[in-house]
């Protein structure tokens, strides 16, 4: 999206809500001929390793359009000048938000969790540099997702399978993940995770988080060691989209009521297909395909951006 239509909302997530911030933003927009309606919502926060978001401030324009770049620029300036952690998100207006039961589907690495599992495994294997080189080749377009996956996994050959447990213990759920999932499950709405990572890691994570279902690649293990290969179908961008459609049909939820959250280019098909596609702390390659952009690392904001109470039990 380049412009937000009338009635669309820009959201600020902040530790503190400073009156100077509100006045500054309002004045900047009014100078451009746009009258804003300002609404502030305070909500409780869980303790986490990142700074807590306590306030959501919504600015909605009246009858003129304003570009997301303008919003980002104004808020970035405000964040530098004021003692608050202000970040931007684009938020659906009340009229644009889906009604009825919603399905949530999330990417895992760097979305549902803070880490990239392949990087952690590579550190154990002493092949972090090799994996980094493969990543660079993929970013240059020299390798597609499947080729990149196979090249990275190959560097893990010979690693003892006990490293999988150690890797799982090193993972941290993204701030707000538990609250977001509880919000969905408390309404008896389904929550899924689909990953280009690995079943051996996602299975215990899914159990800990009470996910409805999940899918990921499977590392091949022989005689207690990783072979450097995967078995079965590769979970690539197309499979992520396919799982979204399959799980939506299974849950009886129309694709327009599916909320998909991801951070990378391999989530683009899934994000484009969903009724609400969210780029979460995302790479530029995904942002252009998303309906919502969240730049603060708290998954609770997914619920607030949809007008939901993330603390629903």
Range with lowest mean pLDDT among 12-21, 76-85, 90-99, 230-239: 76-85
| CA distances (Å), origin 31, targets 34, 36, 89, 240, 306 | 7, 11, 22, 44, 29
pLDDT band at residue 42 under the 50/70/90 scheme: low
Between residues 38 and 27, which one has the greater pLDDT?
A: 27
Q: Tokens standing for 88?
A: 């931007």
pLDDT at 184 over 70: yes
pLDDT tens for each residue of 245-278: 999 999 999 999 999 999 998 999 999 999 999 9
Angle, CA 84 vertex, CA 79 and CA 85 arms, to 5° = 70
What whole-number percentage of the chain has pLDDT above 90?
51
Average the pLDDT over 129-145 and give the result: 83
CB 98 within 8 A of CB 255: no
Q: What confidence score (pLDDT) does residue 288 get?
A: 84
Model pTM? 0.81
Q: Tokens standing for 32?
A: 């451009």
Measure the CA–CA gap between 195 and 198, rounded to whole angstroms.
Answer: 7
Give the H/E segment covering residue 11. strand 9-14
Q: What confidence score (pLDDT) does residue 13 get?
A: 60
> Which of the residues are catalytic?
107, 109
pLDDT tens for each residue of 72-131: 565 556 555 544 444 444 556 566 678 889 999 999 999 999 999 999 999 999 999 999
Between residues 17 and 176, which one has the greater pLDDT?
A: 176
CB 82 within 8 A of CB 15: no
pLDDT, the chain, mean? 80
Measure the CA–CA gap between 66 and 69, rounded to whole angstroms.
Answer: 9
């Amino acid at each position: 999206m380049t412009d937000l239509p009338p009635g669309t909302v820009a959201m600020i997530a902040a530790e503190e809500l400073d009156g100077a911030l509100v006045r500054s933003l309002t004045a900047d927009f009014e100078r451009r001929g746009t009258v804003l309606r300002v609404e502030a919502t305070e909500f409780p926060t869980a303790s986490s390793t990142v700074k807590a978001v306590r306030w959501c401030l919504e600015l909605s324009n009246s009858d003129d359009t304003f570009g997301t770049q303008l919003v980002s620029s104004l808020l970035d300036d405000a964040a530098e000048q004021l003692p608050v952690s202000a970040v931007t998100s684009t938020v659906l207006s009340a009229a644009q938000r889906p009604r009825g039961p919603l399905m949530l589907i999330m990417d895992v690495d760097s979305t549902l969790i803070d880490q990239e599992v392949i990087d952690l495994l590579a550190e154990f294997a002493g092949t972090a540099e090799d994996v980094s080189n493969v990543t660079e080749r993929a970013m240059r377009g020299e390798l597609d997702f499947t080729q990149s996956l196979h090249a990275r996994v190959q560097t893990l050959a010979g690693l003892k399978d006990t490293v999988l447990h150690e890797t799982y213990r090193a993972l941290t759920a993204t701030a707000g993940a538990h609250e977001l999932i509880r919000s969905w499950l408390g309404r008896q709405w389904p929550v899924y995770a689909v990953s280009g990572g690995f079943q051996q890691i996602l299975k215990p994570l899914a159990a800990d988080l009470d996910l409805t279902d999940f899918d990921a690649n499977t590392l091949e293990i022989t005689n207690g060691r990783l072979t450097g290969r995967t078995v079965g179908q590769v979970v690539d961008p197309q499979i992520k989209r396919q799982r979204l459609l399959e799980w939506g049909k299974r849950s009886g939820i129309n694709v327009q009521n599916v909320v998909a959250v991801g951070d990378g280019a391999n989530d683009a098909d899934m994000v484009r297909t969903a009724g609400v596609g969210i780029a979460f702390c995302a790479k530029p390659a995904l942002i252009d395909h998303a309906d919502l952009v969240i730049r603060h690392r708290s998954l609770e904001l997914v619920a607030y951006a949809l007008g939901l109470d993330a603390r629903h039990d």
